[in-house]
Structure 1
Amino acid sequence: MIALIQRVRRAEVRVVEGHSERVAGAIDAGLLALVCAERGDTEAAADRLLAKVLGYRVFSDAAGKMNLSVQNVDGAGRAGGLLLVSQFTLAADTNSGLRPSFTPAAPPDEGKRLFDYFVAAARARHPIVETGEFGADMQVSLVNDGPVTFWLQTHA
């Protein structure tokens, strides 16, 4: 599985439905994670990726070093928000031609199952979890903090 994480001051995802849109999820300071299941991924890969996302030290401590995770964004135990948005295009193969191939991405039904599993596991382990909607037309807005962006990946 893949997660592209960005440290944010705030972020929100809106679902577009025809000519209207609605906020599906929004957070203040924390992480925006664009999440993708690849062909052959398992719940074990999702669990490993979630552990990485929750534990990855991208927030600054009192000395200005990136030593704090989303579970403790201020060094005093305050959890940051976690906004999870499905994005199958992260698995694209861009090695040939001018059009990406999405063959490496999990099929839609498997991708949804693994994304839903990832979200449920995140909600069981972290107090502030918001999401978009799998397969929906979404608009994501964010205020990057840094910017700080990392590509995290686990394999089945």
Structure 2
Amino acid sequence: MKFAIYRGERYACNIRNRKIRLKSREKKSGFTELIDLEGNVHSDIFIKEVSDRKVEDVYELTHEAIFKGVTFQTSGIGKHTLDEGELLLLSDNLQDISTHNFFREDKFVCHKNVALEEIDALIEMKNHILRFRRKGLVTTRVNPSYINDYLKQLLQ
């Protein structure tokens, strides 16, 4: 997931040719309804295209999860994560099949859906991009009692 900070607010975004397309669920000044490639108008998604000079920050957000004291990659954090109360963990260590009851996905990857309540911590990894690259990678630990609130705020 990519995000941009524009006028003090965080927006999900896409980047194309150094132009940043901000997305919002609310109609805001300068934002227009999204028209997809097939010409369909989406009255619940609003967009605004700005140059990278108009934003205060741009970063890509990824996550890891600590489960039973071990750090795992996560996959596909979205609305379904809150709806189902689960997080998909990934591992390339096939020993996790026997030690943590993971399922083999292919020759080199195994996975497991874990209830959010079983997660020891969620690690937010904010990797700054474009002209903000010099800020590097910033990690933040989200403790178990705050994971649901963090995800609600992230996914709104």
Fold-level similarity (TM above 0.5): no
Higher strand share: 2
Higher RCO (C-alpha 8 Å, min separation 6): 1
